[in-house]
Structure 1
Amino acid sequence: MKTYVEALPRKPYITPYEEESLDLPLAFEWADGLPRLTYRDALPQERMFGALWARCGTAREGRIQWNLVHTLRQRRCMLKGLCRVCGKSAADPDTGRVWWIMPSALAGGLRSPWPTAHPPTCRAHVGESLASCPYLRREASVVCTVGDYSPVGVLANLYGQDDGGRVAEIHHQTPVRLGERHLLQRALATQLIVQVTDLQLADRGRET
């Protein structure tokens, strides 16, 4: 029997590699009268939507880490509507709507906005993703097209300081809304959450 790794026909764009793991020299600084998580050698571009973002390399070398998500590539997919598998546009060339695989729980409420941290999947790679990803099979996912999407939050690790003043993780992979400034100040964002709207069940017969 093939394992999950052996069965995958390609390495997904949002999946990280061992060589892309970087040290995170975390520290706290004071900003606007509040403690704020930062890096000891922080760069301006490492903060977005009010949160510090986890550092990642971009070499795509070494052993692939199948159960993790590459922070920068995930964020890029969410902001630009790119496919989680190939990294190219997930927009339908005929309609401009973005192809997205969503949890089956959504099927009865397509008219409601829906937050997700899972990037789009282009029409060409929908079948491949459904066949090879255990998570998508387990959730009995549905294939939709999306008319619009916008950032609403981040998935983040929240930090504080222990009795010795050292930076310590308090909560792991916690959803934080973009308006929750008191949490964003001590968040290390790992994934962007967007809210998708104007969802329609996709016509699977048009996949290529």
Structure 2
Amino acid sequence: MTALIDAVHRTRGGWRIPDQNLWTGEVEEHALAFAFDPAAGALFLTYENPRPADWERGLLWLRHGQDRSGAYKWRAINTPRTRRMMNEHLCMVCSGSCRQKKDGRTTWLFVDDPPTTPDGTPITNLPPTCPDCVPESLATCPRLSERARLVTVAKTRPFAVTADLYEPAEGFPAPAVKVRHEIHIPYGPETAYWLRFALGKQPWLALDDVRDQPKGRLRRQTPAPREETAVGRHEDANSPTEKEVTGKEGGTGSTNDQQQKPQGDHADGKGKGK
């Protein structure tokens, strides 16, 4: 299986820390600014030290480190790891492939049903979960222990992004000032304008041909602690830094409460994000 990391990180109680989770030592500060694109004749948001990997689908994305240092954060995600998991259909727990060899379909584990678009298309900002990690996911997630739905998906396509919006301030290069926190921007011609001003934090996918799997695969199991694995240190969920990790680029703020339908502000092309 393709893996993003070599070590298995666990809590002191023996629970696996999902690879999707952010660690405090992975939060980075990078100054943002606006630059001028002569081809488009317009400003766009960028880092002061841009890299090719910063952009996807014409959108600038939040940076995070990859060393799993510091304390782990249950309610925050590592954006680069999440992007790869969503793009390559890798497990949010172990980073292994979630595609089934027999038919190429991808396994997904949800709390209840995923949210849907007005036309009924299921959408999610949750990476898939491989069958091997389903039992432990059920044992460690309180919401999944109450109700869970295991499905396979034929294919996915990019649908939207949860992002912060910025506007240029006076100066050259123009400094970036955040004006909206974590709004939902669907991809499309009506919202392409807003992507130039956005910092992507969490991708959303549309799911095609969703099929339920047998309920027998949802048996809860309690995994035994493994002595050979790493021990993680949890940052207090009630501390101020857990509620929102901030940096010059907006920190994280995105959580792994992925089952909720997008709420709050939307950039829909009909206004200016207000």
TM-score by length of 2: 0.66
Equivalent of 1:205 in 216, 221, 224:
216
Equivalent of 2:107 in 84, 92, 99:
99
Q: Distance in 1 between matches of 2:132 and 2:80?
A: 23
Contact 2:79 2:202 (8 Å CA) reproduced: yes
Task: Give yes or no for the alignment of 1:24 onto 2:55.
Answer: no
Shift of 1:58: 1.0
**Partner residue, 2:161:** 154
Q: Deviations over 1:118-159 (max 9, x none)?
A: 100111112222332245457x44111111111122111111
Structure 1 counterpart of 2:185, one-letter code:
V
Unaligned runs of 5+ in 1: none
**Partner residue, 1:143:** 150
Task: Give yes or no for the alignment of 1:73 onto 2:81.
Answer: yes
Q: CA RMSD in A?
A: 2.7
Q: Distance in 1 between matches of 2:167 and 2:186?
A: 18
Q: Deviations over 1:24-70 (max 9, x none)?
A: 21011122222211011111221111110111111112211221000
**Partner residue, 2:228:** none
Equivalent of 2:21 in 15, 24, 45:
15
Q: Distance in 1 between matches of 2:139 and 2:111?
A: 15
Q: What SS does the corresponding residue of 1:67 show, helix, strand or coil?
A: strand
Shift of 1:191: 1.4
**Partner residue, 1:190:** 201
Q: What SS does the corresponding residue of 1:16 show, helix, strand or coil?
A: strand
Q: What SS does the corresponding residue of 1:65 show, helix, strand or coil?
A: strand
Deviation larger for 87-96 or 14-23? 87-96
Higher share of residues assigned helix: 1
TM-score by length of 1: 0.86
Shift of 1:106: 4.6
Q: Distance in 2 between matches of 1:122 and 1:170?
A: 38
**Partner residue, 1:115:** 123
Structure 1 counterpart of 2:181, one-letter code:
H
Q: How many aligned positions are there?
A: 202
Percent same amino acid at aligned positions?
31
Q: Distance in 1 between matches of 2:87 and 2:179?
A: 28
